[in-house]
Structure 1
Amino acid sequence: MPLKLKGKIYKSVLRPVILYGSECWAVKKMDEKRVHVAEMRMLRWMCGVTRMDKVRYEYIRGSLRVAPVTEKFKGNRLYWYGHVKRRDEMHVTKRVLNLQVDVWRGSGRPKKRWMDCVRSDMKYDV
């Protein structure tokens, strides 16, 4: 099977499975790394390449013509944010987005929130 066709199969079958619901995830670096590793395993398997062959990820992506799935995470998150911002003020998703919760979280590092991810994505794209 030609690599171009394998890339199309990846884009139409595997990538939607990986990205399902990703617009609502507050993704940490460790989570992005795990998804990246799983994606590269699939791409290497599709190309018939092992890690022992020492083929660069960029070459594999270029031959299949696919973008990194982590970039798609950012695009999906920003798309969903725009969708929520266009909603009516009384819609539940818009009300939840504007919700302010004053809860004592304790000591330690604060948890990463979805809006933090959106803000960093907007900085990245600008």
Structure 2
Amino acid sequence: MLFADDIVLIDKTRSGVNMRLEVWRQTLDSKGFKLSRTKIEYLECKFSDRTHDADVEVKLDARVIPNRAGFNYLGFIILGNREIDEDVAYRIRAGWMKWRLTFDVLCDRNVPLRLKGKFYRVVVRPAMLYGAECWPVKNSRLQKMRVAEMRMLRWMCGCTRRDRIKNEAIRDRVRVASVEDKMWESRLRWFRHVKRRSIDAPVRRCDGLDMESLRRGRGRPKKYWGEVGISPNSFPSSTTPHT
């Protein structure tokens, strides 16, 4: 059985993408499959100021394939500008969707708070942190995750900000660690998986790229995944018994 869904073709130039697309079309035709002309789209990421094949269009037969600024691929929002703001917002919406599905349990006053916290850790939080181990997050994005999580936890405890209860007290009631600590744990866990792979694996080749030789624009240089995920400055400031 040939599985022909969620396929990504990657190349450095548009001409290369056209060649790969034609090979993929011929391969599907030889197996009796048809390549959908209406669902194909492409995303162009520019890593430098140089342009390649600016006058070349990405086509399948005679049909021009539309260029998108971003799209959803396997639960990730991939943008051409290499930012993750849409992906973070999408994860927060996914967490709220799981929250609404379990509203009757999480907001039931007859359910113990610790049981609510365990239910939250199993159902809601994994939806919010899906793929977060690869995020080079900024403080603004991390703050959005904190705000969304604390709104859920306060709702579970039946209180609001007007009650003037500290966030630490809310977390102690439901025994839930901060989203910042859990994101750090997931990044460190993924880092261990990467280091266990062979040196020839694609993920290890990306890990060894020389970022210092790239031309930087104005302003503060962007941090890459290694600087955010495993640097000593990213470690939790305090240990917590919560999970």
TM-score scaled to structure 1, two decimals? 0.91
Question: Bigger shift: 94-103 or 63-72?
Answer: 94-103
Q: Distance in 2 between matches of 1:70 and 1:106?
A: 29
Output the CA distance in 1 between the equivalents of 2:209 and 2:169: 45
Amino acid at match of 1:84: V
After superposition, what is the alpha-carbon deviation per residue over 1:8-53, rounded to whole angstroms, capped at 9, x for unaligned?
1110011101111010000111111110011000001111111111
Q: Does 1:88 align with 2:198?
A: yes
The aligned amino acid for 2:219 is G
Match of 2:39 in 1: none
Query: Which residue pairs with 1:29 in the alignment?
Result: 139
Q: Distance in 2 between matches of 1:123 and 1:112?
A: 12
Higher strand share: 2
Q: What does residue range 104-119 of structure 1 map to in structure 2 within 5 Å?
A: 104-119=215-230
Give the whole-Å Cα distance in 2 for the aligned partners of 1:69 and 1:124: 13
SS at match of 2:197: coil
Higher helix share: 1
Query: Aligned letter for 1:4?
Result: R
- Who is 2:112 aligned against? 2
Q: 1:51 aligns with which of 157, 161, 171?
A: 161
Alpha-carbon distance between aligned partners in 2 of 1:40 and 1:123, rounded to the nearest angstrom: 21
Cα deviation digits, residues 62-113 of structure 1 (max 9, x gap) = 0100110100111110111111011001111011101224321222210121
Partners of 1:122 and 1:60 lie apart in 2 by: 26
Pairwise CA RMSD? 1.6
Moved more, 99-108 or 81-90: 99-108
Structure 1 position 118, deviation (Å): 2.5
Specify the code of the residue in structure 2 equivalent to 1:103. L
User: Which structure 2 segments of 5+ residues have no match?
Assistant: 1-110, 237-243
| Structure 1 position 122, deviation (Å) | 7.0
Identity %: 48
**Cα offset for 1:119?**
3.7
CA shift for structure 1 position 121: 4.5
Equivalent residue letter for 1:116:
E
| Whole-angstrom distance in 2 between the partners of 1:45 and 1:11 | 15
Number of residue equivalences? 125
User: Residue 205 of structure 2: SS of its match in structure 1?
Assistant: helix
- Whether the 8 Å CA contact 1:74–1:121 is kept in 2: the answer is no
Alpha carbons 2:188, 2:230 under 8 Å: kept:
no
TM-score by length of 2: 0.49
Which protein has the larger Cα radius of gyration, Structure 1 or Structure 2?
2
Residue 65 of structure 1 pairs with residue 175 of structure 2: yes
